[in-house]
Amino acid sequence: MTNHVTIHKGLEGIAVTDTQLSLVDGEKGHLVYRGHWAKELALKYTYEHVAFLLWHGRLPSDDELRAFREQMVEARFLPAYLKAILDQLPKNMDMMSVLRTAVSALGDDSYGWPPTVEQAMAVTAKVPTIIAYRYRRLNGQEPLEPRRDLSHTANYLYMLFGKEPSPAHVSALDAYLILTAEHGMNASTFSARVTTSTRSDLISAVTSAIGTMKGPLHGGAPSEVDETLAAIGTKENAEPYLRSLLERGERIMGFGHRVYKTRDPRAEALAVVAKRVAGDDPWLDLAVHVEEVAIKLLAEYKPGRKLYTNVEFYAAAVLRAVGLPKELYTPTFTLSRMAGWTAHVLEQAADNRLIRPQSVYTGPMPEGEA
């Protein structure tokens, strides 16, 4: 019977659920969160507004936002046992593995089934504190407690660098966190939904998602964009460098997308944010040139594949401009996607069906009758 099953490797083009959370239109290059253009949300609102929107289905009133912020602030602090775990982890464990472990360790019995908005908020609020705690320890600095008077985004930068960030840096990072908060059935969100579909808890779902986010074909790309630019070094070297990469059959990080067959609308928006926050950085000037050359060469080497800039290319530019080191690019992407993953967990749980696709066995059969 399985012989008649069609195989869809990578589940390309297969819809596994309906969703109220986001529309990713790959042909038109549109991204909508619950009836709002993501790029407009990024210009007008804060991360807290968008988390509320994703979890509750509408933007908050002023009073609701105030109460919501207070709850998020209360949830930012790490329990002592988690700090002790973080202190025990080996120094050579990368930040995504640290996050996966620390988030998993939060999973006490307050995270029982069914998942709730309170649970989503409790873990989302702690992720910046976990990253900053570990970052400062690794750099030989005393970790800082969260500040109650700062927004989610400003407090993250404060806990990392020990000084209140400039409004320009906060609004640039908010724009990035909003633009990457949610993105349909991407690989890590799918992981979260598969885990939830077994009626496992929210912490387990987020832990699955973090493991999936880590890979260089998904959330791991922006630090590799940084490395590519560093290796290119000068505008003159862009074409020979990228050509030799493509000749060797390698991929140019920050380009191509499973859904977008045009420029990713988030790349469009982040290029504007990057220009605003890092206008005279020669790195950005080089990035704009590299983008132009990469698109030209991808059309030459991969005709008809429609490979354009994805979110990760200018994500690297914005994250660098606000002072983040490249080992924090993917963890910061993870921090933003917490709102999207947990919103999907809530949506999956509300109308659950076990996700269990088929596979086609191609191995040998045992000899003799069954």
Q: Which is nearer to ligand ACO, 171 or 223 (CB)?
A: 223
168 counts as binding ligand ACO under rule CB under 6 A: no
Q: In the 8-state DSSP scheme, what is residue 7?
A: P
Question: Active-site residue 12, yes or no?
Answer: no
User: Which residues lie below 8 Å from residue 320, measured CB to CB, with a gap of 6+?
Assistant: 226, 278, 281, 283, 326
Pull the structure tokens for residue 148: 């109650």
Q: Which stretch binds ligand ACO (CB under 6 A): 131-139, 152-160, 167-175, 299-307?
A: 299-307
Q: Which is nearer to ligand ACO, 254 or 265 (CB)?
A: 254
Q: What is the DSSP string of 153-182?
A: HHHHHHHHHSSPPPHHHHHHHHHHHHHTS-
Cα angle value 334/342/44 (rounded, 5°): 70
Residue among 257, 263, 320, 344 that touches ligand ACO (CB under 6 A): 257
Of the residues 257, 291, 344, 347, only one is catalytic, namely: 257
Pull the structure tokens for residue 291: 């983008």
Q: Element (H or E) spanning 36, and its range?
A: strand 36-37
What b-and-e string marks burial along 10-44, b requiring 16 or more CB atoms within 10 Å of the CB?
eeeeeeeeebebbbbebeebebbbbebebbebbee
Residue with the closest Cβ to ligand ACO? Answer: 256
Closest CB 309 distance from ligand ACO, rounded Å: 9
Question: Residue 256 binds which entry of ligand ACO, ligand OAA, none, with Cβ cut-offs from 5 to 8 Å by kind?
Answer: ligand ACO
Contact 188, 212 (CB under 8 A): yes
Residue among 130, 205, 259, 349 that touches ligand OAA (CB under 6 A): 259
66 counts as binding ligand ACO under rule CB under 6 A: no
Q: Which stretch binds ligand ACO (CB under 6 A): 74-82, 189-197, 212-220, 267-275?
A: 212-220
Contact 22, 184 (CB under 8 A): yes
- Can the peptide bond before residue 364 be classed as cis, meaning omega within 30 degrees of 0? no
306 counts as binding ligand ACO under rule CB under 6 A: no
Q: Which is nearer to ligand ACO, 298 or 318 (CB)?
A: 298
Each residue 183-202 as x (binds ligand OAA by CB under 6 A) or -, in order, gives xx-x----------------
Question: Active-site residue 289, yes or no?
Answer: no
- Catalytic residue annotation: 257, 312
The residues of the shown chain that bind ligand OAA, judged by CB under 6 A, are 180, 183-184, 186, 258-259, 311
The residues of the shown chain that bind ligand ACO, judged by CB under 6 A, are 10, 217-219, 221, 251-258, 298, 302, 305, 307, 310-312
